Structure 1
C-alpha cells in the first residue's frame, strides 16, 4: 500500500525543533504515518486483536499499576477521567506559560492516553488498561520542541518518584519517541537512562520508529537491547490476525537490537484533542466529535504499555525481563509477509498470561556507561532559540558533563526536589494545581540556557490560551524559534 507522509504545519512561531543540517527534524518522533484509506480500528477491535477481551485477560484492567507517559502532555478531554491521570512535572518549554502548562497542545499525548486509560462512555471507547494510573510527564510542545536532555531528565524523575503513589507504583514507562542520534550503545546517555529505569523494576516500552522497513536501524532508545522495542502491525480493518502484516513504515534493524514485538498500529481510534496541532492540521482524521484516528509505532507502543500493565496486575512480582519475555513469546504468529519470514509476533495478552510463571534468564546485555555525549544522542536534530542551535554538552538549562551525571542517575540523586543536576526546573513536590487528580508543582527557569545572553527568566507569551476544550492559536512574542516542524506526521 502506498504510504502518505505529510509534515505537521503550524502557522505560528512557537518552540519547535530544527535540523542544523536542514534534514527532517526528529528530536522526537511522536508523529505518525498512515495510509489515508486505512479503515478505522476501534479500541474494542484492538482488544479482540490482542486477545485482551477473552479468557483470563478479560478480567484485567491494570488496577494497581502506574504507567508513565513521557510525551506532549494530556488534555482534559471527555473520556479521560481526572481520577486516572496524574500530572508529573512539565519539563517542556511550555511549562513557562501558565496557560499551557501540563496541557497537550500537539494532540499526541492525549491520543496515547486514550489508548491506555481512556473511558469514553458516550462512544464506548475504553482504553486497554482503564484501571491503571497514568502519570503524564510533558516534554513536547505544540510543534514538537524538545531536546534529548529533557527526555533524560524526565526518565530520571520517573525512576526517582516511581513509588510516590503506593497504590499505583510506576511499573511501565511509555516512550513513543526516538532521538535524532545514532550513538554508540555502550556509552549513550539516553540508553543509560532507560537501562537504569529497567534495572529499577520498570518495564520500558519504546517505539521502533516510523522511517520505514529499509532504514536499517531502530530509533533511540528502542535500539537499546535491554528494553522492549515495538513495531506496528497493519490490522486491515479486521479483528482476525490472519490478515495482519508488518507495516511498511515500521523501522527494522540490520544490526543491533531488532523489533521485539508488534501491536496494532494503523488508524487506531482514540481520544481527540480539539484545537490541538494535529486536530487543526488533519480534520479528516476526526471520527465524530470526540475521537481521532492515528497510526504509527507510537500507537502500537501505547497498546503494549497497557498490556504490560495488565500482565503486571496478574503477576505483580514479575521483573521487567519476565514481562518482556512473556509478552514476546506469548505473541501470535503472523502468516504473511516480512513478519512471517522474520518471525515477528503480534501481541497476545492471553498468550503472555499463559507463559507467566515460566523461568526467564536474567538479561546479560552489555550496559551503557552513560558517559557518551549529548550531541551524539541528538544527532542532526536541534532545538533553536533565536536562530541559535542548542548543541554540544549543554542541556536546555545549562552545561552538563555526562560523566558527572551518570553516577547521579544511577544512584537516583540527579534530582533533588525540583532541581535536576543543579538546575531549578520544577517545584519541589506534589503541590501544583491542574485538572488531573494530582499535580507536581511548577517553577520558573532562571538558569542560563545555551547561550550566555539567553535565559528563561522572562518568556512572554501572548495570544495563546486554552479555553474549555479548544486551543486558540496566536503568537509567541519576545522569543522566536525556527523549525521544519515534526517530520513524518500524518493523521487520517
Structure 2
C-alpha cells in the first residue's frame, strides 16, 4: 500500500461539502438550502405541474432523442435510474483511481440531479421531467464534493468533443449544478471560455446561480456568464400555480443588469432519487422521503429542472440553436408579481410558454466573450484543494502544468482518446464496464500528484474500504477521510 494521501478540500469549488463538515464563508453554487429549513417535500409531479409540463403540447414531450450531459458527482445504480437511459462518460474524479468507486455517486448529489431529469421510480411513482432523455454522466466530485476547476474544464472539453458519440441522442444540453470560487475578469476567464465553447458547439449550457443568498451581489462562476442560461430557485409554496411562487432566499442575485439570473424554477425541498448509504444520505436521514426519495433544495435542483425542460423544447424543435432555446425559455416564462423578483423582472419556467414562442425570431445576442487566456488560479479563486498539506495553486491542473493561452488558442482538440492535453485521464473508447448502458473506459493516472511523486500515486487507503455491493453501500460511514471546507456555508438537505 502506498503512503496515505490526505486530500483536503480547503474550499470545495463546485459541489457541496456537507454542512457538518464545513466551516463558514466562501462561495457557493451547487447544492442545497439554508440549514434548519424543514419543509414538506415538493414532488416531481408538482414540479411538472408548476412548470406547465403536464398540459398542452408539453404533455406529449419526454425528451426522446435528446442527450443531456451531467457533470457532477456521478450517478448511483439506484432502482429509479433506468440503465438504458444512462451512459457513463469518463470519471475524472479522484475516486476514478479506485475501481470500486469509479463512476458511482458516493456523495449523493449527482443521483439527485439525474432523478429530476430522467428518473423513473416505480416504488414511489416519481418520474423525471424528461424521462426519455439519454443522460451522460461525467463524474468529477468525490464523496464530499471535492473538485478542482481544472477537472471541470477537462469535463466540459470532453462533452464538446463527444457530443455526437450517440447519434440517436446527441448531447444538446449541459447541466452544471456547479460554481467555482473564482471571480476573475469575465473577458479572459478560462472556465467561461470553456462553457462558451460548448454553447458555440450547439449545446445549451444551464448553470446554477449559487446559494449565497439574494444579497450575494454576483452569481457564481460560470453562471455569471451572460451567454449561457443562469438559473435561480423558487419556492412553490405547496401549489401547482406560479401565482404564489416566491424567489428562494438562498438564490444568488447580482447587482446591476449584467451577470443576472435568467430564469427561475422550483428548487425548494425537491423530492428526487435517494442514494442509499451515500455521504448525504448518512448525514441527513431526516431528508429521506419513504425508502427511495430524498429532499434537496437549491439552485442545483432548479438547474436540473431547467435542463430537463430544455430537452423537452429541443425534442419539439430539434433544429433550435442554444440562443433560440434560451430566448424562448426566458421570454416564455411567467413573470412573478411580488418582491425582488418582480422588481428584477424575473420569470418562472413555463414549458408551454416557451413552446408558444418557437415561431418568434431571435436576434443574435450581444455579449462579451472570454478569450480564455486568463489565470487558471483566478478561475479557481479561493477554491483550492490540498494534498498532504500542500495547496493546489497557480497555473496547474491536478495532473500537471497548464497554459491557458496555449489551450485557448490551440486549433487541436484538447482530448485525444483518453488523453487531455497529453495527460492520461481515461481510457480511449467506450469499452468500460459499469451498471449503465454504456461506459467510457477507465484510465490509470500516470502524472505525479502536485504533492509527492508519481511513485506514490493517487491511492488512498480510505477509499479501499468503500465497496458498492448491489444497490447499497457495504460501508456506511466516511470517517476515514479528513476533509475540510469553508466554501459551503449554511447548507443542508431536507
Partner in structure 2 of residue 8 of structure 1: none
SS in structure 1 at match of 2:96 = helix
SS in 1 for 2:264: strand
Q: How far did residue 28 of structure 1 move?
A: 7.0
Question: For the residues of structure 1 that align with 2:125 and 2:357, how far apart are their CA atoms?
Answer: 31
Match of 1:9 in 2: none
Q: 1:17 maps to which residue?
A: 9
Show the counterpart of 2:62: 61
Give the deviation of 1:403 after TM superposition.
0.4
TM-fit CA distance, 1:450: 1.7
Residue-by-residue CA offset, 1:150-189 (whole Å, 9 max, x unaligned)? 0000000000000000000000000001001111100000
Alignment pair present for 1:170 and 2:171? yes
Residues 80 and 119 in structure 1, CA contact (< 8 A), matched pair in contact too: yes
Equivalent pair of 1:26/1:179 in contact (CA under 8 Å): no
Shift of 1:302: 0.1
Match of 2:427 in 1: 427
Three-state SS of the structure 2 residue aligned to 1:338 is: helix
2:326 is equivalent to residue 338 of structure 1? no
CA shift for structure 1 position 202: 0.2
Residue aligning to 1:195: 196
Note closer, same or farther for the CA distance 1:386–1:28 as it changes in structure 2 (3 Å cut). farther
Correspondence for 1:316: 318
Runs of 4+ in 1 over 4 A off after TM superposition: 12-16, 22-28, 473-477
Q: Does 1:204 align with 2:205?
A: yes
RMSD over equivalenced CA pairs, Å: 2.0
Deviation at 1:325, TM superposition (A): 0.2
Q: Contact 1:30–1:108 at 8 Å: present in 2 too?
A: no
Q: How many residues align?
A: 476
Partner of 2:96: 95
Aligned twin of 1:298 = 300
Deviation at 1:29, TM superposition (A): 3.6
Say if 1:24 and 1:149 are closer, same or farther in 2 by CA, change over 3 A.
farther
Q: Partners in 1 of 2:69 and 2:420 — Cα distance?
A: 18
How much has 1:38 moved relative to structure 2? Answer: 2.0
The one-character-per-residue Cα deviations of 1:190-234 (angstroms, maximum 9, x if unpaired) are 000000000000000000000000010000000011000000001
Give secondary structure in 2 for the equivalent of 1:326.
helix
CA distance in 2, matches of 1:427, 1:72: 19
Q: State the alpha-carbon separation in 1 of the partners of residues 377 and 169 from structure 2.
A: 36
Q: What TM-score does the superposition give when structure 2 sets the normalisation length?
A: 0.93
Change (3 A) 1:456 1:354: farther
Question: SS of 2:130's equivalent?
Answer: coil
| 1:302-332: CA deviation from partner (whole Å, max 9, x where unpaired) | 0000000000000000000000000000001
> Structure 1 residues 279 and 485 mapped into 2: Cα distance closer, same or farther (>3 Å)?
farther
Pairing 1:448–2:448 present: yes
TM-score by length of 1: 0.93
Distance 2:26 2:143 in 1: 14
Query: Deviations along 1:238-275, whole A, 9 cap, x unmatched?
Result: 11111100011000001431000000000000000001
1:397-453 deviation line (CA, Å, top 9, x unaligned): 001111011123xx4611000000110110000000000000000011011222463
> Which residue of the partner structure matches residue 469 of structure 1?
471
Distance 1:297 1:33 in 2: 9
